[in-house]
Amino acid sequence: MAMYRKLGKTSSQRKALLRNQVTQLIWHDRIITTEARAKEVKKIAEGLIAMAIKEKDNYEMVKVTVKVPVKDKDGKRVKEVVNGKKVTKYETVEKEIKKDLPSRLHARRQILRVLYPVVEVPKEAAGRKRNTKEINLVTKLFDEVAPKYVDRKGGYTRIVKIGQRQGDAAMMVVLELV
């Protein structure tokens, strides 16, 4: 008996499909897919969420001094002339950042092995690189998803059947975070 469903795909195609669906589930909190795919995605997603819950508070706050460019009222960088060249003017600022402890860093990297990078493109600038931003799904897992499920002992996702697909009568389901 197989330990997983092959989904009618080669191993590389299957891994890519499952990674993509897990990424979309965490990003959108729900996806619509076939029942067999949903059951496989559920296994992976619940493992990632459990890892995030376990390591969510495993960090320390550290004060760091950083150089930040000075900006004018319009949000543009202020330039100054040094030795005949225009150079951006910087100021040093103290910031407090979260520094992962080794076990959380390991968990972060394990999660990054599964999730694809997500780039959000604003609707009004579709097709342009400007104002696009890369979303850090690992941070979303640690900061938003994990605190919701701290008291649960599992069962972080739910599968709801919504009927058969028109073309091939495959059972379609909604897979969502509870």
Give, in order, the Cα–Cα distances in Å from 124 to each of 52, 127, 140, 144: 34, 9, 25, 27
Contacts of 161 (CB under 8 A, 6+ apart): 35, 171, 172, 173
11-57+101-177: CATH architecture: Alpha-Beta Complex (3.90)
Residue 1's pLDDT is 55
Q: Give residues with Cβ within 8 angstroms of 3, minimum separation 6.
A: none
For residue 90, the model assigns a pLDDT of 93
Query: Does position 48 have pLDDT exceeding 60, yes or no?
Result: yes
Question: What is the residue extent of each domain of the chain?
Answer: 11-57+101-177, 59-100
Q: What is the mean pLDDT of the chain?
A: 93
Comparing 42 with 3, the larger pLDDT belongs to: 42
pLDDT digits (tens, 9 = 90+) for 130-158: 778 899 999 999 999 999 999 999 999 99
Measured CA to CA in angstroms, residue 34 lies from 10, 24, 74, 147 at distances of: 18, 15, 50, 29
